[in-house]
Chain A
């Protein structure tokens, strides 16, 4: 279904482009409109296929697990990093961030679209907002660590933890419904 949709879209789009490019001063609408209609049918078929793929339970389950695991790992690693206190020198904190968080941050980001399909746009907006703020705070810890600002490192580690915990709680709440 999706393959046929894409084929129709490509044919319609290319035909429409060709017709639109035929004359510098005008467009032959009699040929252009059918081409656009073919492309539009293709779009509609692709959308239908996308909707059914979105309901594909295997992918959704994998993504859901990825989202939860990534957030849990981030929260756990943040707790440990904050608890490590003086054992991690402030200048080294940035290397710890790269080591401990980058993979999970990327994993969550890659799976985030599933949130909208599973729980709706508002849940997506709320959870991703919290996540993005947390990621920005982690990035700030990295910068403050490179510059050697002690207080900033610990303040923003705390703030990042709060944001990611909020994100995790929101995720658990929508999953519970």
Chain B
């Protein structure tokens, strides 16, 4: 326990302390569990109601700050960072499970699966996701120095009390503005501004602005890293869609009507190509970065042999092998037990496929979120479940196929969510000087709790309202359920995935991560890309006109405030929805 230095010390300042700097403490873990459970319930409910989930790290950082500093009178930025890591690890299950598990209920098979098994599967998945991503910390954060805008924003929050009054004022001022804008846009139901329609432009050009200062803030922090993402979006809606229209090649409905609605075009044409680009781009990136990853591991091993300080900062690599092997075995057991007809060999195949997909998609998601802050989690889950349904194709009962695939798929989805969450938190940790090993332990300590909380929430809400009902539409679950039905009917856009993979691979061959970032522009709705481009442009102009130092010391606190304000109001709406129901 730290001691306050007495007034008799030479420095004569009773704010000074001696002794160890609190980091991975029980205070941090318990506050993290408490906050994580609350955030998981709130955000989990909101995602069932609204169809999207909110990153919980900013909220966890601010609430943890209030409890640890305000109530418990503890003063340690790195302890706050661990509390926020634990809390967001608990919350990682909400985004992971709320996309996948409700689909089973919506398809009408809520009584056909074992919830205890599913929960253990998700816990195993969470551990696998963490264990797989830890060795890549050095590659993505130390070597590539990916931006992770959300991680930078959280670090700015954690450092704000020590950063000087001006930076704190900038952060709080921007948060107020952003929160007010989001409040009014949500309260009045105006999330988007259809500028294209006002100007009389064709519908497929999709000039609709997402009214979100959070998006502007994220883009500002990402800086030039986001340019390729914007290019992807503009290629789709300003070039390909008009070309298709000009050549009379826009797709038609079954009734023969031409589809001009940009969302329909995205779902039919651009999103599958984007998913393919993410996969092809990431695979190429891994192949090209493999020598560097090997060098990183060698460098860690040589540091460990010398007992260097940096080797004590990292989790022992043997422990990670053990975690990966153990979690993969548990995943195999879950797959075998998911439904009676799966059998040992098929269960083993599902576990191997699930494990490989967790590794692959963990890299894709960490790259995407590291460069732009947007995570294509739903797309990666979709591919994972498609692959798992293919493995279960020998089963006679479609109920068994769906249940087995979704149970293992939920575990992979939680794994992916944990991987990206940990990378974001590790970036924050890097910026505040936390010890990676302690953060990683914090992530393991939080990851088991989320699936327990979320599965209980799912059952309670299903009993109360029925998932998929008008009261609780669970849009993500409905989308997955519809896709699963499409897959069973043979409706998988494999050709688009493959074509996209080639295109993504070519881009990533030129520059690491390019295929993933451009693919994300194809994948995400253009209204986000448009608003994002404002933030990127602002950063480029600010860097040129005011200098990089201004962007760092003034621009980033403002951008972090924009993220925090909107996130907090978003969570406020979620809490209001919970309390009001």
Contact = CB atoms under 8 A, between A and B. Distances in A.
B433 A136 contact: yes
B27 to A, nearest CB: 14
A125 B298 contact: yes
Given A20-B503, A129-B299, A143-B78, A148 B15 contact: yes
A87 to B, nearest CB: 12
A126 B433 contact: no
A53 to B, nearest CB: 13
A60 B413 CA distance: 44
Contact of B162 (A14, A17, A94): A94
Interface in B429-445: 430-434
Contacts of B507: 13
B15 A91 contact: yes
A137 interface: yes
Q: Kindly state the interface size class of chain B when it binds its partner.
A: 35 or more
A22 B313 CA distance: 52
Interface string B231-271: 00001000110011000010100000000000000001110
Nearest to A116: B292
Max chain A Cβ within 10 angstroms of own Cβ: one of B15, B18, B162, B298: B162
A95 B164 CA distance: 9
A133 B309 contact: yes
B75 A148 contact: yes
Contacts of B244: 18, 21-22
Contact of B509 (A43, A109, A149): A43
Interface in B1-53: 2, 5, 10-11, 13, 15-21
A89 B295 contact: no
A158 to B, nearest CB: 10
B581 to A, nearest CB: 38
Interface in B254-301: 268-270, 273, 291-292, 295-296, 298-300
A145 B499 contact: no
A85 to B, nearest CB: 10
Contacts of A101: none
B433 A143 contact: yes
A96 interface: no
B511 to A, nearest CB: 9
A82 to B, nearest CB: 16
B76 interface: yes
A17 B432 contact: no
B510 to A, nearest CB: 5
Interface string A66-79: 00000000000000
A132 B142 CA distance: 6
B108 interface: no
B162 A125 contact: no
Given A26-B495, A146-B161, A147-B162, A125 B239 contact: no
A23 B499 CA distance: 12
Interface string B505-518: 01101100000000
Contacts of A21: 240, 244, 269-270, 273
B491 to A, nearest CB: 9
Contacts of A125: 143, 292, 295-296, 298-299
Contacts of A139: 430-433
A149 B269 CA distance: 57
B273 A17 contact: yes
B499 A16 contact: yes
Interface in A131-160: 132-133, 135-152, 156, 159
B145 A27 contact: no
Contact of B18 (A122, A126, A151, A162): A151
Interface string A20-33: 11111111000010
B162 A146 contact: yes
A89 B303 CA distance: 33
Contacts of A22: 244, 249
B16 A90 contact: yes
Contacts of B17: 147-150
B346 interface: no
Contacts of B251: 23-24
Given A27-B495, A147-B77, A148-B75, A9 B510 contact: yes
Contacts of A159: 309
A27 B496 contact: yes
A171 interface: no
Contacts of A106: 548
A141 to B, nearest CB: 7
A130 interface: yes
A40 B506 contact: yes
B75 A133 contact: no
A143 B163 CA distance: 10
A86 B291 contact: no
Contacts of B333: none
Given A27-B496, A40-B506, A129-B303, A124 B433 contact: no
A128 B78 contact: no
B309 A162 contact: yes
A49 B444 CA distance: 46
A27 B433 contact: no
Contacts of A46: 510
Contacts of A141: 433
For B138, B244, B308, B309, the residue with the greatest tally of chain A CB atoms inside 10 Å of its CB is B309
Given A91-B15, A141-B433, 10 more contacts: A13-B506, A14-B235, A20-B273, A20-B496, A21-B244, A36-B506, A89-B11, A139-B432, A143-B76, A148-B15
Interface of A: 9, 12-14, 16-27, 32, 36, 39-40, 43, 46-47, 86, 89-91, 94-95, 102, 106, 109, 116, 121-122, 124-126, 128-130, 132-133, 135-152, 156, 159, 162-163, 166
5 contacts: A124-B292, A128-B142, A147-B17, A149-B21, A151-B19
- Which 3 pairs between the two chains have the least Cβ-Cβ distance? A146-B162, A140-B433, A125-B295
